[in-house]
């Protein structure tokens, strides 16, 4: 339920673009026209449009108009590009998801871990290994490090369902942003074992390391997601920066 005007306009325009109300390469109605359509101010409309620009849906051209450059992406099994849980992504793409908890433990961060996680030495952590299945096939091996004091009462049962659901709906935490780094790494024996891949085929994994912050500005999670390379796809839209 959008709580602001610009969000609802953004969602409406986005939906119209996705459903071909405006053809590819066609110009959207001008700002003045859209202002009358939505009965809003120019700023509010422009705020909505600027988000479509960030999404790579449209492109604004001074003096000309706003061009629709949206083209639907061919969906593979798992496509990421936003902050969403495995469950959400699976649902959105119409797949069946299952999560198996391999390990659920807790410890304090040591010096080596502090380097790659970003947590301070001595921080108390829940460490969880989970295997995510999509339509019965193991796709992602997750190593989660959750800040213990920020995620009280976490249990293996919750981890088997959706931790993010617990965070947002039970603890009422708000997830804000997530810094992610994508790399390619050698497949380990653990990867091979759980993802049932033989290294003769692929011997690499797509690895997404992320640091996630809540609305208090606290980094409460570090996660390394190891993806089956043949079912991995990362989408991004970049806007040319000003020099």
In the complex, the residues that contact DNA under the rule CB under 7 A are 4-7, 28, 30-33, 39-44, 46-47, 60-66
- State the DSSP string of 121-152: TT-EEEEEEEEEEETTEEEEEEEEEEEGGGST
Assess 233 for contact with a second copy (CB under 8 A). yes
Q: How far is the CB of 36 from DNA (least distance, A)?
A: 11
CA distances from 204 to 54, 77, 188, 191 (A): 31, 18, 9, 9
Distance CA 158, CA 8 (A): 33
Structure tokens at 36: 């009358």
Per CB under 8 A, which region of 99-107, 122-130, 153-161, 209-217 contacts a second copy?
209-217
Q: Which is nearer to a second copy, 152 or 217 (CB)?
A: 217
Among 35, 137, 178, 194, binds a second copy (CB under 8 A): 178
DSSP assigned state of 81? S
Q: Which is nearer to DNA, 66 or 77 (CB)?
A: 66
**Pair 52, 239: CB distance under 8 Å:** no
Residue 167's nearest CA partner among 243, 105, 220, 228 is 220
The listed partner (DNA, a second copy, none) that binds 138, CB under 5 to 8 Å by sort, is none
Q: Which one, 153 or 242, has the nearer CB to a second copy?
A: 242
Per CB under 8 A, does 219 bind a second copy? yes
Residue 150 interacts with a second copy (CB under 8 A): yes or no: no
Integer Cα distance of 135 and 97 in angstroms: 6
Q: Of 179 and 196, which CB lies nearer to a second copy in the complex structure?
A: 179
Taking CB under 8 A as the criterion, the residue among 176, 190, 193, 196 binding a second copy is 176
Sole window of 125-133, 139-147, 189-197, 215-223 interacting with a second copy (rule: CB under 8 A) = 215-223
Q: Are 212 and 175 in contact (CB under 8 A)?
A: yes
Cβ-proximal residues to 189 (8 Å cutoff; 6+ apart), any chain: none
Instruction: Determine which residue in the list 90, 158, 206, 225 makes contact with a second copy, applying CB under 8 A.
Output: 206
- According to CB under 8 A, which one of 21, 102, 121, 181 is a site residue for a second copy? 181
């Amino acid at each position: 339920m959008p709580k602001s005007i610009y969000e609802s306009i953004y969602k409406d325009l986005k939906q119209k673009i996705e459903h071909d109300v405006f053809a590819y390469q066609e110009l959207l109605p001008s700002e003045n026209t859209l202002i009358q359509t939505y009965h809003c101010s120019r700023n509010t409309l422009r705020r909505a449009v600027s988000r479509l620009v960030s999404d790579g849906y449209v492109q604004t051209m001074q003096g000309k108009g706003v061009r629709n450059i949206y083209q639907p992406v061919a969906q593979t099994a798992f496509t990421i590009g936003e902050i969403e849980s495995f469950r959400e992504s699976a649902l959105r793409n119409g797949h069946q998801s299952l999560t198996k908890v391999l390990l659920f433990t807790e410890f304090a961060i040591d010096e080596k871990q502090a380097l790659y996680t970003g947590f301070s030495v001595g921080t108390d952590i829940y460490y969880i290994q989970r295997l995510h299945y999509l339509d019965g096939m193991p796709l992602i091996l997750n190593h989660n490090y959750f800040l213990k004091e920020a995620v009280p009462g976490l249990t293996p049962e919750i981890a088997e369902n959706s931790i993010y659901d617990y965070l947002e709906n039970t603890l009422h935490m708000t997830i804000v942003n997530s810094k992610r780094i994508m790399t390619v790494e050698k497949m380990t024996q653990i990867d091979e074992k759980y993802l049932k891949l033989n290294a003769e085929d692929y011997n690499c994994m797509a690895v997404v390391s992320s640091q996630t912050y809540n609305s208090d500005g606290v980094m409460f999670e570090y996660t390394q997601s190891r993806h089956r390379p043949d079912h991995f796809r990362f989408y991004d839209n970049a806007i040319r920066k000003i020099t």
